[in-house]
Structure formats: C-alpha cells, structure tokens
Homo-oligomer: A and B are copies of this chain.
Amino acid sequence: MTGRLIHSLATTEPLAQLFSDESVLAAMLEFEVALARAEARAGVIPQAAADAIATSTKTENFDTTALANATLRAGTPAIPLVKTLTESVRKNNPDAARFVHWGATSQDVADTGMSLLLKRAQPILLGDLQRLEQALRHLSEQHAKTVMLGRTLMQPAPPVTLGLKAAGWLGSIHRAHCALADAFSNATILQFGGASGTLASLGSQGISVANELARQLGLGNPEAPWHTHRDRWAAMICACGVLTGSLGKMARDISLLMQNEVAESSEPGGDGRGGSSTMPHKRNPIACSLTLAASHRVPALVASCLSAMVQEHERGVGGWQAEWPIMADTIRATGLAIASMAEVAEGLSVDAERMRSNIEKTNGVIFAERAMMLLGSKLGRDVAHRVLEQATKKCAAENRHLRDVLAEISEVTAHFDTTTLEQLEIPEQYLGAAEDFRKALLSASASSTQNFKEEQ
C-alpha cells in the first residue's frame, strides 16, 4: 500500500478511502458509464454500446498500480483508463468498444471524476461541521457565566467568559462553514468539453449530451467547459484554507489552556487518544496538534492551488497536472481538522474553578484598567495614573492584591468606600458586553445554519 501510513496524521479513514485508488477509479468509470448512457439517449451512440460499457467497469479488473504508472507516462489518467476500459468492453461487445469515451477528452473524465469525489467529501466535511457547531453552541450556553482570564499577547487581561470564547470560535467556524458549503455547490460540476472545449465532435448534440450527463451524475452543469478556468475549485480550496485557519485558532487556544500551569480545560482522552502509559492522568493535545498540523499545511496547499491557476490556452502545461494531490490533500487535511475539533468540542472538559483561581492569581492587576476608570473620574487621570502605577508595582513586589494595596492609599480611600474596593476584582462585574456579544454570535450562527439546512 502506498502512502496511507506516511499520511496517517493527515487524514481520517473515510477521507483516506474517498481518495483511495478504488474510489478514484470508480469515479472516473462512473463518468464513462454516464457519458455512454447520455449519448445513447441522445442517439449519438447505440444503446447496446452504452449497456456494454456499463457492464465492463468492475474496478477489480483494473490494475491500479499499472494504471498509475501508465498515467505517469501519458500525463493523464484518462488515456490508460480508457484503453483498459476499451479492452474490457471489447471482450463483452466488440462493436461497443469504439464508443468508449466518445467525444470526450482526457480532462473531462479526470475533472469530472474529481468533482464526483468532492461531492462525496461534501457531506463528510459538512456533517462534522454541524456536529462541531452544535457542540460549540452547547458549550457556549453552558458556560455563559463561566468567567476566565482574557489573555492578550498571552498575558493576563480583563476577564471574559468561556461562553464568549466558545461563541467566538463558533462564529468564525460558522462563517467558514457557510462559505465552504457555497464553494462545494459551485465546485461540484461537470467537466465536458471535448478536445478544445467546444464539444465539436458531437456536432449539434453537445449541449444536450452535457445536460443529460450532468443530470445523471448529479453534478451542476456550468455555462461552458472550464478546462483552464479553475477558479471554482480554487475558491473551494480557499474556503478550506479559511476554515482550517479558524479551526487552528481554536486548537491553539485549547492547547494553551491544557498546559499544566494553566489547566483550565482539556480535550477528551480515551480510545487510544494521546495517553501515556506511565502518566495515565496525562492528556496530550492530540486532536489539537492534528488540527494545528493541518493549519500548517493547508495554507501552502491553497497557495499551490492558486499558483496552478495560471493555465495555458485550452489545456495547461503543469498547472492542471499539479491539482489532484493538492485537492485531495486539502480535503483530507481540512476534514481531519474538522473531525478533530468536533471531537474536542463534544468532549471538552472544563475546570471552572481553576479558571477563577487563575484570575485570582493575577492579584487583581487585570482590574487596573477598571480602577483607573473609577479613580480617574475622581482624581483626574494624571493622578489616578500615578497612583495605579505605584499600586500595581507594589502588588507585584509584595504579591498582594490590588484592592488591598489601594485600600492603604489615602487618596483612594478618600473617594471610595470599602465595598467599592472589595468589588473591584469581581470578574462578573467587569464583563461589559460579553453576554450581548455571545448571544449575537450564537444568533448569527444559528440563523444562517437554518437557511443553510433549508437549502440542502
């Protein structure tokens, strides 16, 4: 077997199978059968020929290693495929052999084969996205009031809620989800143009054959062949890129929260997942690491896809030939990232107490901004600033809380009673619009998902 193990951290099993030799071969044969049927229906070739072709496509009869090597010689999978299929048909029905691949060009079968694979990838990726979003929505609702440190430049900042954080992940993943769903619709289309993209060899019947062919395959039928206009596939790869970026952000956050020193949250373990035989309590951020691996690879795959768009005239020299591994690797990596983060979101463990205690450990200096706002209105900003500068230095030096240090400063106590100072460091009192933002994000994600479902 080739390349399953070396890509083992780069694909899920269903997506590995989707791009397996059998699956790729079957997709191309599906095109040939549907083509013959569509042409028979249009009277372009005999029905008997179409029938013979349809019964000659057992993938077992094809030697995929030989096919791969012949593909390399021919520069396209279609030439050896059609040759083998023609031999196979000839055994069933010699007259039918001449009608194999009638009127099509190599790129027609290769591109349409890939479109069929993409169509099968679509529910896998979008299904896992639904799971992921549902889990994030649940997480966000459940932790609407769970306070935790905000962290800017990985340094402590005023508090947020885990609910808001999860809603932020959800928002960006949902937007990417919608874009990916659209991109899939646009990208899963028929390619059928014949040698120069004019369907000249089918005379006046080209378009009706194309319509029927698209119908049979369940693919969209574009206005015209797109042999060297790859924007729709490129847009789909880009959508994968943006999505993987958003997933990578979520994975980075969680892997940071999983640090022993932070210990606020953890991806789920179990089922051979990231354990350590000697440290059974330990959970490694395996799913996060796989997602982050994808977010290292997918941007570059996007770049090579975009770079390969520059294709010459009616068939490209190099650009087209680069596409298959780019497409497959991107779909596999993106699918793995989605599946990984769905698993993480569904099983995320949260230590709300630790979140609160990590806030506590900052000695309240994250509320210095709040204190400044309060003091400033009484003392003037300049004085307030000086007071706070000294106070926070003292907090750090003496490992004491800001509220306690401030309580010893006469300029402060002159204006504030004990209660105000005592409440200074209560996270719940300094969340601003966090809950409004959280709800707005959930609402934006929910409504469009509904639309999206209806569309499907």
Contact = CB atoms under 8 A, between A and B. Distances in A.
A68 B4 contact: yes
A47 to B, nearest CB: 17
Nearest to A261: B261
A224 interface: yes
Given A242-B235, A289-B75, A385-B278, A158 B195 contact: yes
A417 interface: no
The SS class assigned to the A binding surface is helix
A90 to B, nearest CB: 10
Interface string A148-191: 00111111111110001101100110011001000000000000
A306 interface: yes
A362 interface: yes
B197 A150 contact: yes
A76 to B, nearest CB: 8
Given A13-B69, A20-B1, A272 B197 contact: no
Contacts of A119: none
Given A262-B261, A295-B307, A314 B151 contact: yes
A329 interface: yes
Nearest to A170: B229
B13 A200 contact: no
Interface size classification for chain A: 35 or more
A434 B198 contact: yes
Contacts of A454: none
Interface stretch (A35-43, A418-426, A439-447): A439-447
A226 B341 CA distance: 20
Interface string A305-348: 11111111111111111101110110000001000000000000
A306 B241 contact: yes
29 contacts: A1-B22, A3-B328, A5-B21, A5-B67, A9-B325, A10-B322, A75-B153, A98-B381, A151-B313, A152-B195, A152-B196, A153-B315, A154-B258, A155-B284, A159-B196, A167-B224, A168-B228, A200-B433, A201-B369, A201-B370, A203-B432, A238-B241, A249-B311, A261-B262, A277-B385, A292-B321, A296-B304, A298-B306, A300-B301
Interface stretch (A50-58, A121-129, A130-138, A372-380): A372-380
Interface stretch (A212-220, A392-400, A406-414): A392-400
A7 interface: yes
A207 B72 CA distance: 44
A93 interface: no
A152 B325 contact: no
A64 B195 contact: no
A48 interface: no
A455 interface: no
A431 B200 contact: yes
A277 to B, nearest CB: 6
A343 B213 CA distance: 39
Contact of A259 (B3, B175, B262): B262
A24 interface: yes
A432 B201 contact: yes
B9 A324 contact: yes
A443 B223 contact: yes
A146 interface: no
A290 B153 CA distance: 11
A171 B260 contact: no
Contact of A392 (B241, B280, B298): B280
A33 interface: no
Contact of A297 (B252, B288, B326): B326
